[in-house]
A = this chain, B = another copy of it.
Amino acid sequence: MKALVYHGPGQKDWESVPDPRVIDSTDVIVQVDTTTICGTDLHILLGDVPAVEPGRILGHEAVGTVVEVGDAVSTLAVGDRVLVPAITSCGSCVYCRRQMPSHCQGVGGIGWVFGHLIDGTQAEYVRVPFGQTSLHRVPEGVTDEQLIFLADIFPTGFEMGVQYGGVKPGDVVAIVGVGPVGLAAVQTASLHGASKIIAVGRTWPRIKSALDLGATHGISTQDPDWLDQVMGLTDGLGVDVVIEAVGVPQTLEDAFRIVRPGGHVANAGVHGKSFTLPINDLWIQNITFTTGLVNGTTVPALLELLKAGKINPEAMGTHYFTLDEMLLAYDVFEHSGTHNCLKTVIRKA
């Protein structure tokens, strides 16, 4: 088959590799009908994730069709259409039993293994360990384009942002950072009853996208008075829940500046540097700060919402490719600003 193979920092190719096959009796082999590229893949190509070894097939998101199942798989059959989520879950370790497969011990302590510790989904086929407890059979009547962002980006914004942030009906929510994760938080904050949804970004095209996707207010941190603008929307108290969706010290600092006493800061960004936490100011502020890798435990709920027409994840897909245009898709996504690209959708021809 063909797959996108990582060959060390800055090196990748769309090339022929052996087809995957069932190794463990809990494995499922899935034909990839649709996949996408994640910002994390770009980090890997920059050499930021040393655990990824040369020769690894990248990608951790797919919609596909079951083509082979191991002997232990009883609830999935060849031909089933499935969502391959970013997180693999053994279903029986202490973390999976706590509904936190992000740290599944059955796959080594981090549930994110595709395109990281084992071969991933940017390929014609993918081997899915613990398929029965990891895959989601998808309902009829929904398209791959609607489903693909439920593999990672949508639940990341919802779980790490909205859910970990503890958004409650009536809350004022600010999302700092309007890339894909931030936009997924914008799109899902209403599921917890947010009143105002303030998109805080730098440049207006992206802030505008956030307004199109459900933000009630957009504010640019390039405005010298942006902080006053936020406070003006919250009776001067600060926002109830701030979702950090960038991953640099500045945006995290901004988050702590605009949260109200008793509020939440939910980190959804991937950080490469430590952060100077003003605990001398915060100790008395009754703040809850959360971090985390997506669990994907909300996917069944998101599928229900998708069936009912209550969410529109497909709005994140702006650029479409076929699998054999994989390198072109990477090129566009690496220059997403130039192309005004939010997320790519890469389909079997």
- Any chain B CB within 8 A of the CB of A169? yes
Return the CB mask of A148-160 against B: 1 if under 8 Å, else 0. 0000000000100
**A95 with B170, Cβ < 8 A, contacts A216-B308, A289-B288 known:** no
Return the chain B residue nearest A308 by Cβ. B195
Q: How far is the CA of A316 from the CA of B297 in the complex (A)?
A: 37
Cross-chain contact A92 with B71 (CB below 8 angstroms) = no
Within 229-270 of A, Cβ neighbours of B (below 8 Å) are at: 237, 247, 252, 261-262, 267, 269-270
**A92 with B91, Cβ < 8 A, contacts A170-B304, A195-B305, A289-B289 known:** yes
Within 171-228 of A, Cβ neighbours of B (below 8 Å) are at: 171-172, 190-193, 195-196, 216
Task: For A164, list chain B residues within 8 Å (CB).
Answer: 288
Contact of A252 among B195, B279, B292 (CB under 8 A): B279
* Identical copies of this chain, number: 4
Cross-chain contact B94 with A91 (CB below 8 angstroms) = no
Q: How far is the CB of A264 from chain B (nearest CB, A)?
A: 10
Q: How far is the CA of A297 from the CA of B92 in the complex (A)?
A: 12
Counting chain A residues whose Cβ lies within 8 A of the other chain, the interface size class is: 35 or more
Q: How far is the CB of A95 from chain B (nearest CB, A)?
A: 7
Cross-chain contact B272 with A275 (CB below 8 angstroms) = no
Q: How far is the CB of A2 from chain B (nearest CB, A)?
A: 31
Cross-chain contact A262 with B304 (CB below 8 angstroms) = no
Return the chain B residue nearest A71 by Cβ. B25
Task: For A99, list chain B residues within 8 Å (CB).
Answer: 99
Q: How far is the CA of A234 from the CA of B172 in the complex (A)?
A: 33
25 A-B pairs within 8 Å (CB atoms) are namely: A24-B74, A25-B25, A71-B71, A75-B93, A91-B132, A103-B262, A109-B261, A133-B133, A164-B288, A170-B298, A170-B301, A170-B303, A193-B193, A193-B305, A267-B279, A271-B279, A274-B276, A276-B276, A276-B277, A282-B291, A284-B293, A286-B293, A287-B291, A288-B290, A289-B290
List 8 tightest A-B contacts by C-beta distance, closest first: A170-B301, A72-B72, A91-B91, A286-B292, A191-B193, A195-B308, A195-B304, A170-B304
